Structure 1
Amino acid sequence: MSSECEFRLRAREPLLYAYSALELLDHHDQFDEHREWVLFWVGGVALLRTVGHVLQKVDAVGSPELGCIISSKWAMWKENRQENAIFWDFIEKERNNVLKIFKLGVFVGQVPDHMPSSDECVSNICEKDIPTHCETGEDGRDLFFDAVMWWQEQLAAIEKEWRLSCRTSN
């Protein structure tokens, strides 16, 4: 089998960083380290969407055959929006909210000049111990995890289809 058949998509690079951002979100307290948490969220959301851009604009142009596989995946994601809702309703939407109008899709409390002590804190902020997604009410980190896993599955399927295609053409 040619080495061309044994490759990894470049889109895996931003996905790996997105996974690292998720780990940082899980290990940083959104109240004690509010600014850092927001930075990890914004960066992670941008990385989640970057996976798709690299897939479409870098990986797809590497070879015509791989480009066809990737184009057909994009067409399927667009056609089956409900089955791929994590992309449309979270990855795409949250990226647009964060990067175009700086509106976080998760509730992480108010943006203070300084982090308030527990005595200063308003109860509806400090009693929330999870970053709640504003539309779904879910822990935003769970949605982030689902997005990472969705990309992992999509990239693995593309790589598998490419290897099969590559084997039959050689």
Structure 2
Amino acid sequence: MTLPSQYPNHHVPIKYFLASYRALSDGRTGVRLLEEKLDKSSRSLLSEWKVLWIGTCTILRTSIDLFRIDGESCLAPRIREEIQAEWHAIRTEKEKHAIFWEFLRKERDSVIHQYEWRAYETWIKPDGTFRGPKLSLLIMEDDDGAKPAILMKEGLFKGRDSLELLRDGADWVEERIFSAVRRAGFDPEEARSLASFLPLPKIKGGLLGDLSSGDGDVEKDNKP
């Protein structure tokens, strides 16, 4: 994500240089919107959650696919190498990364290729029992105190709260990205120049410089 030189004074955390992390950020937005949809709903959802669900699953799955793009980008060589190594581990150690292969990837593919949904809408009553959604095309108020939920109906994660699983998926993606960046010797939160990937300049004598020596010297760290 290195940009033209008109941005020399703009610095952002290293994580935002990665396409995979930018996709993850959008995926987390999808998780938040779905949470709000469920929290605020006191009516039958009539499957309105499905658009947010498949969109978020797809973006989180894409964030991992983007490891191949980040691994060939113009980032620091060590970051590229560790991103490539992380993708290799995900691809070859599938049992350790089941949340990707058995959830994010399968859920997206199931809907996109067969339009089959492995997550389903249900309602949880105050006593902990379940009931299905009301099937009337008219939106009716629910008077039994039930709250909407989405559960997995098949696969490795059968019976799991689907929203919780989606949160876990986002956390897993972030850990894969951050662990690769840290192994490369960088802090994902460290600010770097958009134009050159150089760190923020260090100012001798503190934030305001050494007042006794004049205007204070700026010391630049040119190490990538």
Structure 2 length-normalised TM: 0.60
Shift of 1:113: 8.0
Contact preservation (8 Å) 1:46, 1:95: yes
Shift of 1:131: 0.8
Aligned to 2:189: none
**1:131 is paired with a residue of what secondary structure?**
strand
Q: Which is worse superposed, 13-22 or 105-114? A: 105-114
**Hey, what's the Cα distance between the residues in 2 that align with 1:113 and 1:50?**
36
Contact preservation (8 Å) 2:23, 2:59: yes
> Is 1:60–2:71 an aligned residue pair?
yes
Aligned to 1:162: 184
**2:149 is paired with a residue of what secondary structure?**
coil
Instruction: Identify the structure with the greater helix proportion.
Output: 1
Please provide the CA RMSD for this pair: 3.1
**Hey, what's the Cα distance between the residues in 2 that align with 1:138 and 1:131?**
9
Kindly provide the amino acid, as one letter, of the partner of residue 91 in structure 1: L
**Hey, what's the Cα distance between the residues in 1 that align with 2:31 and 2:134?**
21
Shift of 1:118: 6.1
**Hey, what's the Cα distance between the residues in 2 that align with 1:16 and 1:113?**
36
Aligned to 1:39: 51
Aligned to 2:103: 90
Q: 2:150 aligns with which of 92, 108, 131?
A: 131
Aligned to 2:137: 114
**1:144 is paired with a residue of what secondary structure?**
helix
Contact preservation (8 Å) 1:105, 1:133: yes
**Hey, what's the Cα distance between the residues in 1 that align with 2:184 and 2:83?**
9
Kindly provide the amino acid, as one letter, of the partner of residue 60 in structure 1: G
Mark the CA change 1:159 to 1:37 in structure 2 (over 3 Å): closer, same or farther. Answer: same
Number of residue pairs the alignment of both structures matches: 157
Mark the CA change 1:158 to 1:133 in structure 2 (over 3 Å): closer, same or farther. Answer: same
Shift of 1:92: 1.0
Aligned to 1:123: none
5+ residue gaps, structure 1: 1-5, 120-126
Matches within 5 A, 1:3-42: 7-8=14-15, 9-29=18-38, 32-42=44-54
Instruction: Identify the structure with the greater strand proportion.
Output: 2
Aligned to 2:60: 48
**2:184 is paired with a residue of what secondary structure?**
helix
User: Kindly, what percent of the aligned residue pairs are identical?
Assistant: 22
Deviations 1:62-104 (A, max 9, x none): 1454333222212211232121111111111111112221111
Shift of 1:61: 1.2
5+ residue gaps, structure 2: 1-12, 122-131, 187-222
Deviations 1:39-72 (A, max 9, x none): 1001101111110122212x11114543332222
Rg: which structure is higher?
Answer: 2
